Amino acid sequence: MTRNDQPRRVLIVDDSAFMRASLRHIVGALPGFTVAGEAKDGREAVEVIRRDRPDIVTLDIDMPLLDGIGVLRELRPVPGTAPLFIMVSAFTTAGADLTLTALGCGAIDFVPKASEHFRTDLAQVGDLLRSKLAIAGAVLAGQDGRSRPLPVAAPRPSRPAAAPPAGVTTAGVPDVVVVACSTGGPQTLPELLRPLCPCPVPVVVAQHIPPVFSRSLAASLAVSVECPVVEAEDGKPLAAGTVHVLPGGFNGELVRLRPGVLAVRLTEGGAALHRPNADILFRSAALTARRPVGIILTGMGCDGTEGARALVQRGCPVLVQDPATAVIWGMPRAAIDAGLASEVLDPAAIGRRVALMTGRRE
């Protein structure tokens, strides 16, 4: 159960009666969670949230009177503090763009749906929503590797790892930077990339994200970071000064086309739980690149830890986000606990540190 053995209270916000009933059934059947109420438009949602103070809100984007983005802008949520917002958005390019805007406005995560008529996809939506609720519950309970009181305290100053892995050196100019992130990644990546970009070497990002959304993420980052950000293409040479976001639903391995030129080989198969998978990307970087640098940011679970181990065994540095600054601290904490973090810093400090490694000057 959750804190004080009380179930987490979930408010369902959607203008579709069918959708509200479907989500009510999913939430009501999930141990540790209970439906706290419903709202059929954004204006009603704001009133109910302020009055009833739910723990979690599932929030539609396209609604009358006030849309989901408007709700977030009016309430100004802080990720990590109740209520946590999980967007339920259309699985389209327009829906993906709006979802990423919602994440930038304070939503913690999202569940894509195929369209407004998606009865045949309810099983998949249910599986995704249950996993996202579990993540939200972990954030509120201070679980996933360590306890953390709520509301989240101000981030502590960046600090070095307790003991950098033996044999790892930050000397030498990298030829590629590989990045792992999951929940909280779309909000955190701009913090990392602004001080890093334009990076003199290619940057490859494994962000756990569905298809379509990765293309919108690349476009959003390009505007935010003001440097080239593209969705990686199979076999196309990686360009210096460019951030390459692995497409959702695919794994990406680095391959060497010729001396000094790397590319990404995209695959759909494999047993990896998350696609794009950071362990696969990191291991391929350790095998293929001359001097890769790994970065692990916010996310649930431990993806990236085994790949980081391969980088460390090569003597290559792995910079890890300070868990105190992460939306979800599971992935950073897993790498730190495994003794694989060369340095533990906030995202902007990681960006500045890697910029120095690459020889970039302001």
Question: Is residue 163 one of the residues assigned to a domain?
Answer: no
Average pLDDT over residues 278-284: 97
The band of 118, judged by pLDDT with boundaries at 50, 70 and 90, is very low
Question: Is residue 152 one of the residues assigned to a domain?
Answer: no
Cβ count within 10 A of residue 139: 27
Last residue of a domain, one of 141, 157, 186: 141
108 and 237 co-located in one domain: no
The band of 146, judged by pLDDT with boundaries at 50, 70 and 90, is very low
Looking at the structure of the chain, the number of domains it has is 2
Q: What is the pLDDT of residue 4?
A: 55
336 and 199 co-located in one domain: yes
Q: How far apart are CA 104 and CA 217, in angstroms?
A: 11
Residue 275 has pLDDT above 90, yes or no: no
Q: What is the pLDDT of residue 119?
A: 47
Angle at CA of residue 340, ends 338 and 346, nearest 5°: 105
Residue 87 has pLDDT above 70, yes or no: yes
276: cis peptide before it, omega within 30°?
A: yes
Tell me the CATH number at 35: 3.40.50.2300
Q: How far apart are CA 137 and CA 139, in angstroms?
A: 5
257 and 350 co-located in one domain: yes
Question: Is residue 185 one of the residues assigned to a domain?
Answer: yes
Residue 123 has pLDDT above 50, yes or no: yes
Question: Is residue 312 one of the residues assigned to a domain?
Answer: yes
Residue 272 has pLDDT above 80, yes or no: no
Tell me the CATH number at 195: 3.40.50.180
79 and 127 co-located in one domain: yes
The band of 152, judged by pLDDT with boundaries at 50, 70 and 90, is very low
Percent of the chain with pLDDT over 90: 65
Question: Is residue 148 one of the residues assigned to a domain?
Answer: no
| CB neighbour list of residue 356: distance below 8 Å, 6 or more residues apart | none
52 and 112 co-located in one domain: yes
Q: How far apart are CA 97 and CA 220, in angstroms?
A: 8
Q: How far apart are CA 112 and CA 249, in angstroms?
A: 13
Average pLDDT over residues 153-158: 38
The residues annotated as belonging to the active site are: 182, 208, 303
188 and 107 co-located in one domain: no
> How close are the terminal C-alpha atoms of the chain, in Å?
51
129 and 231 co-located in one domain: no
Alpha carbon 107 to its chain centroid, in Å, reads 12
Average pLDDT over residues 123-148: 75
* Per-residue pLDDT tens over the stretch 194-250: 999 999 999 999 999 988 889 999 999 999 998 999 999 999 999 999 999 999 989
192 and 276 co-located in one domain: yes
Q: What is the pLDDT of residue 181?
A: 96
Three-class secondary structure of residue 192 per DSSP: helix
**Identity of the highest mean pLDDT range in 107-111, 267-271, 356-360:** 107-111
Question: Is residue 158 one of the residues assigned to a domain?
Answer: no
212 and 127 co-located in one domain: no
Last residue of a domain, one of 141, 160, 184: 141
Outline where DSSP puts E strands in the chain.
8-13, 33-39, 56-60, 84-90, 109-113, 176-181, 203-207, 229-231, 243-245, 251-258, 261-267, 292-296, 318-321, 343-345
Average pLDDT over residues 251-267: 94
Q: Which domain holds residue 271?
A: 176-357
Q: What is the pLDDT of residue 114?
A: 62
Three-class secondary structure of residue 253 per DSSP: strand
Question: Is residue 305 one of the residues assigned to a domain?
Answer: yes
94 and 232 co-located in one domain: no
The band of 117, judged by pLDDT with boundaries at 50, 70 and 90, is very low
Question: Is residue 231 one of the residues assigned to a domain?
Answer: yes
Residue 271 has pLDDT above 60, yes or no: no
Among the listed ranges 130-139, 202-211, 297-306, which one has the minimum average pLDDT value? 130-139
Tokens at 311, concatenated:
């980088």
- Per-residue b/e over 192-221, b at no fewer than 16 CB within 10 Å? bbbbbbbbbbbbbbbbbbbebbbbbbbbbb
115 and 250 co-located in one domain: no
The residue count of the chain comes to 362
26 and 104 co-located in one domain: yes
